[in-house]
């Protein structure tokens, strides 16, 4: 880390305090890495951070600030804003209303500072859905909170791992529902946003591939007609409008081709289609971006791991990548926030 004033101020939330979030944040910020080009401010509780540091062999000093600009950005200094939710030891690995409320409060306070411009973007550790429900909150995850508080356009998840970038047409639905959820209008609505969000990352004329659904792209109806009936017509319509789109490209090759530079992004048709590709390429280096907000949010792509929380064995590599990506893109996204979608 460095105290360079040119690096963006990034708000870092620890997620559910009973999970591995506080641990991976502390471990990541303890790294003396020139690749983490940010000025981080952590949103948590003093007691949570003190408990976390007491179990870890890391060289970090806590520095309480009331505003991100007050931070002392030297190696070994963890600047934090005390959200004052929890003031007693955390029971690691346990679902609780207090954990859900605390994780939500850290995020809510960080969003407030991102909206005001006090921080340029956010990097987040995981929340726990059961704990959020136990706290009787109306949000089930980060995305729901961010969409409610900070949406600028229609939010979309974008996975980034190395040179591979993946959007998702559908998300958390059963496998049986997927074909019916893939529609002409859905693809046509998604593609301009994919194009916009890639341009917000600095790619001036992105080429986007739409993944096929069936083996070998359906082989002209031999293995399914979705490509002929829905996906192909949508892609042809997009091309006819002047959009830079290819497809449907068989899913067993499209992600590799994107990683090799043939495309700038892939529109994956369903959750596991894109997740498997990203996590096989880089399980610990896949970063989830929430695009379409008034700022950029970068996140690890794993959960709270209650089964290992509090043991000091969590792998911080995903958090390091999220911090790196937040530093790389947050300022660019802010500067390009008013770009318009193609039509």
The pLDDT score that the predictor gives to residue 2 is 46
Q: What element of type H or E holds 236?
A: helix 232-240
Question: Domain with 18 in it: what CATH number?
Answer: 3.40.718.10
Domain count within the chain? 2
Residues 62 and 139 in one domain: yes
* pLDDT in the model for residue 293: 98
Same domain, 128 and 86: yes
Residues 132 and 68 in one domain: yes
Is residue 27 located within the same domain as residue 158? yes
Statement to judge: residues 142 and 246 lie in one domain = no
Are 6 and 133 members of one domain? yes
Domain end residue (candidates: 265, 281, 297): 281
70 and 188 co-located in one domain: no
| Domain membership of residue 182 as a residue range | 170-281
- Residue 147's SS3 state is helix
Residues 52 and 145 in one domain: yes
Q: Are residues 71 and 185 in the same domain?
A: no
Dihedral-angle region of residue 153 (phi above 0 means left; psi in -120 to 50 means alpha; beta otherwise):
beta
9 φ/ψ sector (left φ>0, alpha ψ -120 to 50, else beta): beta
212 shares a domain with 230: yes
Q: How many CB atoms lie under 10 A from the CB of residue 49?
A: 22
| Chunked mean pLDDT (size 10), the chain, 343 residues | 77 98 97 88 97 92 97 94 95 97 98 98 97 95 95 97 97 94 98 98 97 93 93 98 97 98 98 97 96 97 95 96 97 95 92
């Amino acid at each position: 880390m460095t105290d360079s004033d040119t690096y963006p101020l990034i708000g870092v939330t620890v997620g559910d305090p009973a999970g591995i979030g506080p641990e991976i944040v502390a471990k990541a910020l303890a790294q003396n890495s020139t690749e983490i080009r940010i000025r981080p401010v952590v949103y948590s509780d003093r007691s949570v951070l003190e408990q976390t540091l007491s179990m870890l062999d890391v060289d970090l000093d806590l520095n309480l600030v009331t505003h991100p600009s007050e931070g002392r950005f030297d190696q070994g200094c963890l600047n934090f804003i005390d959200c004052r939710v929890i003031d007693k030891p955390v029971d690691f690995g346990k679902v609780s209303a207090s954990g859900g409320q605390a994780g939500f409060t850290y995020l809510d306070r960080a969003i407030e500072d991102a909206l005001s411009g006090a921080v340029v973007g956010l990097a987040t550790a995981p929340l726990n859905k059961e704990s959020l429900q136990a706290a009787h909150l109306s949000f089930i995850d980060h995305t729901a909170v961010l969409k409610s508080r900070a949406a600028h356009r229609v939010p979309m998840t974008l996975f980034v791992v190395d040179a591979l970038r993946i959007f998702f047409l559908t998300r958390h639905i059963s496998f049986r529902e997927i074909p019916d959820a893939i529609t002409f209008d859905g693809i046509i609505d998604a593609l301009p946003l994919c194009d916009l969000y890639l341009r917000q990352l600095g790619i001036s004329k992105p080429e986007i591939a739409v993944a096929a659904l069936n083996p070998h792209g359906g082989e002209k109806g031999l293995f399914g007609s979705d490509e002929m009936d829905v996906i192909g017509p949508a892609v042809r319509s997009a091309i006819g409008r002047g959009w830079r789109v290819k497809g449907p490209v068989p899913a067993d090759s499209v992600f590799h081709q994107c990683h090799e530079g043939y495309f700038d992004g892939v529109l994956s048709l369903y959750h596991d289609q894109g997740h498997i590709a990203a996590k096989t390429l880089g399980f610990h280096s896949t970063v989830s971006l929430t695009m379409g907000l008034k700022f950029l949010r970068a996140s690890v792509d794993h959960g709270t791991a209650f089964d290992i929380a509090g043991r000091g064995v969590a792998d911080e590599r995903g958090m390091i990548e999220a911090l790196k990506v937040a530093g790389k893109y947050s300022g660019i996204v802010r500067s390009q926030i008013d770009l318009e979608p193609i039509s």
